[in-house]
Amino acid sequence: MRIELLCNESKYPDILACIFEGSQKRVDQICTPSGIVPRIDETFIRDHCNFSAIVDFPYGISETRIRVHEILLCAKRGIKTIDLVLNRYDLESSNLFAIRKDFKTCYSACKENKLHVRPVIEYRLAEENFMQELCFSLRENGASDIVLGTGSMVDDLLDNIISSKLIEDKLGIPVVSCSPILSKDHFNMFYESKIHGIRLKSYKILDNFVY
């Protein structure tokens, strides 16, 4: 199972601690909001860790040209993976046209700069039937995997597991779940469910798990 770490710390020493712990524990990826990327040494990004930048975190409500600008800035700093937060208002209103239009533009910018892009879906805002339609559309427009949840909303562990498995089993899209995983028992629930990956919300809980 793939293990990622969300680095969303407010203080610079905590950012460094998060990166250090992630490196020491050999997580598969360190994921940080794009606004934090300039605070990380560019050489370190390029040579020492596998980073993804979370664009327009946590609400995804900026207009597309601003999101594309963020993507281009991250590319210049050595980021190779973009986690694109989908617009929460469009999710709530089931506005597939707006989401697809934005994603296609951002996907093109990523492709031109040889970046891997993953949509981040705050699934608790969307209706269940719309989620299936949405994920199918994202897959058809270039998404090879999906991140479920930003980690900024109250979530339920079992709900996230069920939603992740539905997407993986019905559509064949690997899912990285960002859920409130706090203990070894929580970790085991995801591991036994055979979900593609998880994203831990704090470096302070890394010691709870055995790699």
Q: Are 60 and 45 in contact (CB under 8 A)?
A: no
- The percent of residues above 70 in pLDDT, for the chain, comes to 99
Question: Going by C-beta distance under 8 Å and a sequence separation of 6 or more, which residues neighbour residue 181?
Answer: 157, 187, 190, 198, 200, 201, 205
Tokens of 109: 């910018």
User: Predicted confidence band at 44 (pLDDT cuts at 50, 70, 90)?
Assistant: confident
pLDDT of residue 85: 98
Mean pLDDT of 135-147: 96
- 3-state SS, residue 204: helix
Nearest partner of 5 among 65, 42, 41, 50, judged by Cα: 50
Tokens of 143: 């998404």
Mean residue pLDDT across the chain:
94
Q: What is the pLDDT of residues 98-130, one digit of tens each?
A: 999 999 999 999 999 999 999 999 999 999 899
pLDDT of residue 46: 85
Q: What is the pLDDT of residues 153-184, one digit of tens each?
A: 999 999 999 999 999 999 999 999 999 898 88
Q: Which amino acid is at 153?
A: M
Mean pLDDT of 62-74: 98
Q: Which amino acid is at 51?
A: F
Extended beta strands in 64-202, E state: 81-85, 116-121, 146-148, 175-178, 197-200
Q: Which residue has the higher pLDDT, 10 or 31?
A: 31
pLDDT of residue 210: 53
Nearest partner of 125 among 163, 79, 157, judged by Cα: 163
Q: Which residue has the higher pLDDT, 85 or 24?
A: 85
Question: Going by C-beta distance under 8 Å and a sequence separation of 6 or more, which residues neighbour residue 103?
Answer: 84, 86, 119, 138, 141, 142, 143
pLDDT at 211 over 60: no
H or E, element range at 29: strand 29-33
